[in-house]
Structure 1
Amino acid sequence: MTRSKNPLTLDYKMKGEILTTVKSSKYLGVLITNDLSWEPHINQVINDSNKILGFLRRNFSRCDSRIKATAYQSLVRPKLEYAATVWDPHQSQLINKLEMVQQRAARFATSDYRRTSSVTSMLHTLHWPTLQQRRKKKRLMLLKRAINEEIAIDIPSYVKKPSRQQRNTNLHKYTPIFCRTQCYKYSFLPRTLNDWNSLPTETALSQKAAFEQALDTFIKSS
């Protein structure tokens, strides 16, 4: 993997056979590219999700709203969010393309395809937060569990709290990670640490269910 314009080309062998060089490869369901761009993976996720949503529209058209919403939440949204803590995009065009899948699902769930209807109102009626909000919540919850050593994700030694805490309101904050590239800046750890630092102290230091509830309130208001 490299982002260099003039990369070194080396041949790697296994059992005497030269390994084929590819631009992308799927690992645990996530498409990883040689330039660390998540756009191909996100486009694949969107295409697959639209196919499932199309299947639901063809076969559940006469069902009531509750069944349609449950079908979307059970079959489509998990596809849109699988491993999203890794590939959560920051580019507006990719964010909007993902949101459009849920917007189509909202029209399906409410059986309202009129151009004059507000999709935002439909999402509010269905109590569906945006997918971007859900991805942010999942990243912060994963970081919280890593900080508390509840999962096997080690926080690197270079992630430290400031040597001097100015006020009690800064007790949860960490020193931001300096990033030279956009790719690293918007990867999980640097990006989520910045989001973590923006949390109110009482939210960051709360535990389990209280943390999730406070996090929902903060993300909706931000």
Structure 2
Amino acid sequence: MITNAGVPQGSVLSATLFLLHINDLLLPGIYGYADDSTVVERYLPSTQASKELIRSEREAMVERTNDSLQAVSEWGEANLVGFNATKTQARLFTAKRSPFTLAPAFRNVSLECADRLQLLGVEISSDLNFGRFIESKAKIAARKLGVLAKVRQYFTPGQLLMLYKAQVRSCVEYCSHIWAGAAKCHLAALDSVEGRAKRLIGDPDLANSNLQSLQHRRRVASLSVFYRMHFGECAQELHELIPPSRFHHRTSRRTAGIHPYVVQTSTVRTKRFASSFIPRISRDWNNLPAAVFPSDYDLGVFKARVNRFLIN
């Protein structure tokens, strides 16, 4: 078989070769993961901006987006990579109520802004409300749990516990650091699935001793992601999102017990921003004791110590 373009499916080198091939596509404002690429543009008008200024800023943003999409198209033609414009999604994230009538274009196809965007398995709405996404995950987990219930007589409680952790709980924890700040009424649907799982396992002592609450696990996971971002074990763009550390020029009772990695927390004006990842986890991060931080970067040690601290 002769491959004129692309990589053979199933080869152990295919993924690496593909990433090397598209590496020069990832220009500023273009982000990629495997074969998914995303173009990001934004504008930041003042709260007192007029309608005319807002429209001008939006037109400029769409123009920059079109330039980036044109660069992607030209790169594809030069490197024998075909992009399907009909499968390309566009989404505007804004708190403004004024209608957005503009649309970027990719390969002569107008990309109308959709209500929701599917990005790497996460559904993102324009108002960053993850309620619908969480409910869909709860339904999928409930169906998986239903299948497990039908065959429960063939497994021991310990085996049911392992199957729940591998097949069901992993489903309701995907990218939890992104949506963990959602409303409690939505997160309660996930807790309901976990309650059913404990009853299905049939051994309360085994289940309670081996299953930490989903809320606890989300906090540990979020702090672990923040730890990686704080110490730069991630993309540079993510590392730069971490607020700078605060400097205390004098010692006082209030600052004596603060760990050296405290970050600056910004004033939040909206509930939506307060529940997003950086502001929400910054508060948890600053409240950690210095003892949970290893002397050198070690994610495993940090995660274990945070887990014990939050349990206690």
Decide which moves more: 23-32 or 150-159. Answer: 150-159
Aligned equivalents of 2:268, 2:128: Cα separation in 1: 15
Is the CA contact 1:177–1:190 (under 8 Å) kept in the aligned structure 2? yes
- The one-letter code sitting in structure 2 at the alignment partner of 1:142 is V
The answer to whether the aligner puts 1:142 opposite 2:213 as a matched pair is no
What is aligned with 2:288? Answer: 199
Pick aligned residue for 2:189 from 92, 97, 120: 97
**5+ residue gaps in structure 1?**
112-118
The answer to whether the aligner puts 1:124 opposite 2:208 as a matched pair is yes
CA shift in 2, pair 1:172/1:13, >3 Å: closer
- The one-letter code sitting in structure 2 at the alignment partner of 1:21 is C
TM-score scaled by length of structure 1: 0.86
Is the CA contact 2:180–2:218 (under 8 Å) kept in the aligned structure 1? yes
Per-residue CA deviations over 1:56-95 (Å, capped at 9, x if unaligned) read 1112333110110011001001111111111113422122
Counterparts of 1:1-222 in structure 2, within 5 Å, are 1-110=93-202, 123-125=207-209, 127-152=210-235, 154-156=238-240, 159-164=243-248, 166=251, 167-170=255-258, 171-205=260-294, 207-221=298-312
Higher relative contact order (CA 8 A, sep 6+): 1
Per-residue CA deviations over 1:129-187 (Å, capped at 9, x if unaligned) read 11111011001011112222222253337712223153442223111122222222111
Per-residue CA deviations over 1:16-75 (Å, capped at 9, x if unaligned) read 332233211211100011221111111111111111111111123331101100110010
- Deviant stretches of 4+, over 4 Å: none
Decide which moves more: 42-51 or 58-67. Answer: 58-67
Decide which moves more: 142-151 or 163-172. Answer: 163-172
TM-score scaled by length of structure 2: 0.62
CA shift in 2, pair 1:101/1:157, >3 Å: closer
Aligned equivalents of 2:285, 2:294: Cα separation in 1: 11
Which has the larger Rg? 2
**5+ residue gaps in structure 2?**
1-92
